[in-house]
Amino acid sequence: MTNKFWFLTKNSLQKKMKSKTFIIVNILLLIVLVALINIDRVVMLFGGNFDKQNNIMVLDNTNKTYEIFKKTIDSEETIIDTGLKYKVKKVSDEKKAKKEIKKDEDILLIINNDENDIINVTMITYGYINSNLYQLINSSITASKQNLAMEEIGISAEELAKISKSVEIKREYIEANKSKEEEQNEFIMGIVTPIVIFPFFMLITLVVQMVGAEINEEKSTRSMEIIISNVPAKVHFFSKILAANLFVIIQCALLGLYSLIGMLLRGGKSLDSIQNVDVISNVTSGMDITGMINNLVGYIPLVLILMAVTLLGYSLLAGVLASMTTNMEDFQQLQTPIFVVSLVGFYLAIMNTMFDGAIFIRVLSYVPFISAILSPSLLVTGVIGFKDIILSILLMVVVIYLLLKYGLKIYKEGILNYSSNKLWKKMLKALKH
């Protein structure tokens, strides 16, 4: 019997992975993910100017700014890592320099003394320039001005660092049960939703559709009768569930592999450059992000277990419902409640901060099928903890046990059913046996 089980599982998995649809979709996913990670190089292939050298000419009327600016722009580029190519050179004739401006990559900076503002700069270009280049030049000029100010006033680099250092703001709240960590949760939620919640919601959709489609395909071709005459319905049921879940895991692993290939082709710069983006630095300044992440790391294994058992529960439920239908049209109707439940969990996860830790949202975190979608966001916002996750897992395991005990009765009764009439009556009848 074991050999038959593994044969059916292997056959089901191979049928999915060797299909033209699977191969074509994964080729497209590979191309799209690699292209998105290396979007600048893709644009360059179609005429983008990412790889063109920018010629930055500097007319230094202060006779002291050019060297500081040149060192500063090189150090700024090392930190920001924009990947821009540029060459900085000093010029002495403004008219001659202007004549050299013949394309968008040619830039002339005229630096003059300014009594009120130390220096002022005029930028002359042929047309519009790259926004990253403009930001690089702007930040380099600002840093150069600070260095000049330090020299004039006699401030050391250490003293300037103290002056420029952000002030640490200690928060106090009049309203009870408020904390700085809770206030920071909204930032983390913006990360959790696209990285964890939405992909898991899509996995649920994928596994439900897959189980239903395969069972109905076998029923529509009448091959189910041949299979069930040689293999018990129980073995057939478990093989379909295992094959569907293995397929989802393999597809996730492939997506991770495609992303890794994209980053390797880029040279690993895609992640390094993100760490130095000013916007992220400004948003996270003052936040103990490291502490928050360390607190959540311990929950990752539990969340993964909860997601795994929930995905198994969805696939079992989909298999039971699919056995009672004769085609995909009927299954689409029966699976609607499944999608409604998962969709409710998805929206509750997104909007959980609006409930402000209410008992209502905490109770829903224990509800099977919804708990795995809600848990990541509720953990981040501090609404639930270790015991709550354990309880959610146990409740989901109980539901899986009930699905196996009673769902198998429905499956055995419905797998050879070829009539779409009185489906619910047939289910209730199967449960009584």
Task: Output the DSSP codes for 89-127.
Answer: EEES-HHHHHHT--STTEEEEEEEEETTTEEEEEEEESS
Strand (E) or helix (H) holding 430: helix 423-432
Q: Which region among 17-26, 68-77, 153-162, 296-305 has the lowest average model confidence (pLDDT)?
A: 153-162
Positions of CATH 3.40.190 in the chain: 53-159
Eight-class DSSP state of 378: H
Lowest mean pLDDT among 281-290, 351-360, 370-379: 281-290
In the block, which residue shows the tokens 């005459």?
Answer: 229
- CATH code: domain 53-159 is 3.40.190
C-alpha 139/C-alpha 277 separation (Å) is 13
The answer for 362, left when phi > 0, alpha when psi is -120 to 50, beta otherwise, is alpha
Q: What confidence score (pLDDT) does residue 130 get?
A: 75
210 pLDDT band, cuts 50/70/90, is: confident
The answer to which of 60-69, 78-87, 217-226 has the lowest mean pLDDT is 78-87
Q: What is the mean pLDDT of the chain?
A: 79
Which residue in this structure is represented by tokens 């916002």? 381
Alpha helices, H only, 124-171: 131-153, 157-164
Asked if residue 36 lies in contact with residue 66, where contact means CB atoms within 8 angstroms, the answer is no
Residue 387 clears pLDDT 80, i.e. is over it: yes
Compare 431 and 278 and report the one with higher pLDDT: 431
**162 pLDDT more than 80:** no
CA distance 91 to 109: 10
Residue 409 CA to residue 121 CA, distance in Å, equals: 81
* pLDDT surpasses 70 at 83: no
Token pair, residue 360, equals 């209502």
User: Is residue 285's pLDDT more than 50?
Assistant: no
pLDDT for 401 beyond 90: yes
- What was the pLDDT predicted at 272? 46
Q: How much is the pLDDT for 292?
A: 53
What is the maximal distance between C-alpha atoms in the chain?
Answer: 98
Q: Are 67 and 118 in contact (CB under 8 A)?
A: no
The pLDDT tens digits of the residues spanning 258-281 come to 988 988 887 654 444 444 444 444
**What is the C-alpha radius of gyration for the chain, rounded to an integer number of angstroms?**
31
Residue type, 295: N
Across 8-17, 157-166, 372-381, least confident range: 157-166
**Rounded Cα–Cα distance for residues 376 and 382 (Å):** 10
Element containing residue 71 per DSSP (H, E)? helix 66-80
What is the average pLDDT across 211-225?
A: 80
With beta carbons less than 8 A apart as the criterion, state whether 179 and 173 touch. Answer: yes
Kindly tell me if the per-residue pLDDT of 22 is higher than 60: yes
The residue among 202 and 172 whose pLDDT is bigger is: 202
* Alpha carbon 339 to its chain's center: 21
Residue 191: its pLDDT value, please? 63
**Residues composing the chain:** 433
Q: What pLDDT, on the 0 to 100 scale, is given for residue 305?
A: 92
Is 286 in a helix, a strand, or coil? coil
More confident residue, 311 or 223: 311
For residues 52 and 306, what is the distance between their CA atoms, to the nearest angstrom? Answer: 50
Spacing of C-alpha 49 from chain mean position? 29
Query: Given a cut of 90, is residue 353 above it in pLDDT?
Result: no
Write out the two tokens for 296: 């959540």
